[in-house]
A = this chain, B = another copy of it.
């Protein structure tokens, strides 16, 4: 659970540079995703942050992750598909999900792995590579 110690200023700077207002909630959600690389769901983010703030709505978390995804600061991980998980690292990499404990881990993939041609005439905006199986602990 590596902590990426980013100052509030740095967080806010990143948000502003994307045209996003650095609200307390949005910064908190972004920070949470940067510091917790477990690919948390909206519910997990909400549960873990709701103690820190008097009022904190789950709808806000939905709003935050959506705006963060739109600006490319964060990446949705739709492996498993019962709920969307979020990744604070938007650079290209693959994901492995354990179907028993539901953990998601990053996998480094050589760049050519993402060099897949879409059907002719269509434009590819993103490539997702998802592996599913059983993790080391659950084996």
User: A residues touching B (Cβ–Cβ < 8 Å)?
Assistant: 78-81, 84, 94, 96, 98-99, 105, 107, 109, 113, 116-136, 139
Could you tell me the distance between the alpha carbons of A9 and B134 in the complex, rounded to whole angstroms?
A: 37
**Which residue of the partner chain, among B128, B133, B135, B139, contacts A130 with CB atoms under 8 Å?**
B128
A81-B81, A81-B84 in contact; A124/B119 too (CB < 8 A)? no
Work out how many copies of this chain go into the complex: 2
Could you tell me the distance between the alpha carbons of A109 and B79 in the complex, rounded to whole angstroms?
A: 20
The reply to whether A132 and B128 contact each other, CB–CB distance below 8 Å, is yes
The reply to whether B133 and A125 contact each other, CB–CB distance below 8 Å, is yes
Pull 11 A–B residue pairs with CB atoms less than 8 Å apart, ordered by A. A98-B122, A99-B125, A107-B119, A113-B116, A116-B131, A124-B133, A126-B132, A128-B128, A128-B132, A129-B130, A130-B130
The reply to whether B116 and A107 contact each other, CB–CB distance below 8 Å, is yes
A78-B78, A78-B81, A94-B116 in contact; A121/B136 too (CB < 8 A)? yes
Q: Which 7 A-B pairs have the closest CB atoms?
A: A121-B136, A78-B81, A124-B133, A125-B133, A128-B130, A122-B135, A123-B133
Could you tell me the distance between the alpha carbons of A84 and B55 in the complex, rounded to whole angstroms?
A: 35
